[in-house]
Amino acid sequence: MSETAEKTAVVIVGGGVAGLALGNFLLRSGIECVIVEKHSRGYVERRQRAGALDGRGVRMFREWGLEEVMGGSSAGPLESEGMPLRIEGEPRAWKGGWDDDEEGGEGVFCPQQILVRNLIGTFLRDGGDLRFEAGDVSLEDLDSEHPRVRYRDAAGSAKVINCDFVAGCDGYHGVSRASIPADVLTCYSHEFGYAWLAVLAEVPADPPAVMAVHSRGFAAQITRGPDASRLYLQCPLTDTLEDWPDERIWSELAARFGEPVAVTGRIAEKQLVPLRCVVFSPMSHGRLFLLGDAAHLVSPMSAKGMSLALRDVEVFARAVVRQVEKGDSSGLDGYSDTCLKHIWNVQEFAVGVTGTMHDAGDASYAGEFRKQLARRELERMTESPVADRVSG
């Protein structure tokens, strides 16, 4: 079968939130790019993942003239005044919650699939080149000046795109990171030793987010738009989905919240997510740059994965613009170091908050000593009329 060769400035591998945001930013900056995405449009638009966008992410979309992509998606601001948190059934408020933007920006609840759907819409409307159902994607000659991306299109035809840069936005299990020689890459990882049963339920969440720290384990209900919520239940790594019939999910949530769940309904999806944090370094190799989950994972307890991916996008997009417009490679040369500095700050937050929220509950994982320490930390993080604020 014959092969068609094309040329562009940036090939973006992966049409998730990172790849699509990058495509939109480059398009608006007049830089040619092609996005190759493994799955179909319908699949990508329906895939349920994150639900929170931090203040920096909101500000970034505004600055790039893409405020519209957050439209219709927000269930309101993150609870910067304190997120509802029940400790052994007693109501408290987690001061600041997830919204820790250092420049004071306000984050929003923003279901990832709605953001993705809107980013696809604006990219295609503005003339972007997005190729769904790209199979057998492979990256070549990354350490030369002329890297190439090969793939097979939906009809089975072999394609090759020559480019100046490859943006690896293909998530944790993609091909981009795997194209970097193993001896060049260091993987730093932390396993928490427990999982979340992550459930998508067709019920509204009111308030938009509520969490529970309980001796039976952590639990949460987080909005995914007006008619859906994510339910999270801490469980052992050895649990299987068969251990969690629907009735057990609702009764366990009620037990951990210390009150009945206001509205129950159809459960659309269940998965088990082992909690871990991972960082790959460096985040570039030759003319390949890794962005988002391709380079790092943060515990979902931190609600920072999507925002962190968008931070990489911002750094990379500005660096490419500087390279193309001014011939200045300093942004691309420093890409990995710039991103890693921020990533390690977020990892510190993610490991701390995940440990506290889980260790303070079910002591069977980390023991009674850790539980007592985590309870003290929780006191500092929360507000309540009955909080024991012993000073000194």
Nearest to 55 by CA among 96, 18, 101: 101
The kind and range of the H/E element at 232 are strand 229-235
Q: Which is nearer to ligand FAD, 309 or 324 (CB)?
A: 309
CB of 188 to ligand FAD, least distance (A): 17
Contacts of 59 by beta carbon, 8 Å cutoff, 6+ apart: 101, 103, 105
Q: Which is nearer to ligand FAD, 273 or 387 (CB)?
A: 273
Alpha carbon 118 to its chain centroid, in Å, reads 17
Residue 75 CA: distances (Å) to CA of 83, 115, 227, 307: 14, 13, 11, 17
Contact 275, 300 (CB under 8 A): yes
Q: Which is nearer to ligand FAD, 170 or 314 (CB)?
A: 170
Q: Tally Cβ neighbours within 10 Å of residue 112.
A: 21
Q: For residues 101 and 106, what is the distance between their CA atoms, to the nearest angstrom?
A: 7
SS3 category, 42: helix
Q: Which is nearer to ligand FAD, 253 or 371 (CB)?
A: 253
Q: Which is nearer to ligand FAD, 174 or 355 (CB)?
A: 174
Q: Which is nearer to ligand FAD, 58 or 371 (CB)?
A: 58
Query: Which residues are near ligand FAD by CB under 6 A?
Result: 13-19, 36-39, 44, 49-52, 112, 134, 137, 169-171, 174-175, 198, 273, 292-293, 300, 303-307, 309
CB of 236 to ligand FAD, least distance (A): 17
SS3 category, 327: coil
CB of 226 to ligand FAD, least distance (A): 17
Contact 213, 361 (CB under 8 A): yes
Q: Which is nearer to ligand FAD, 90 or 206 (CB)?
A: 206
CB of 302 to ligand FAD, least distance (A): 8
Mapping DSSP onto H, E and C, the string for 141-160 reads CCCCCCCEEEEECCCCCEEE
Contacts of 2 by beta carbon, 8 Å cutoff, 6+ apart: 158
**Helix 112-125 with 17-28: angle, nearest 10 deg:** 30
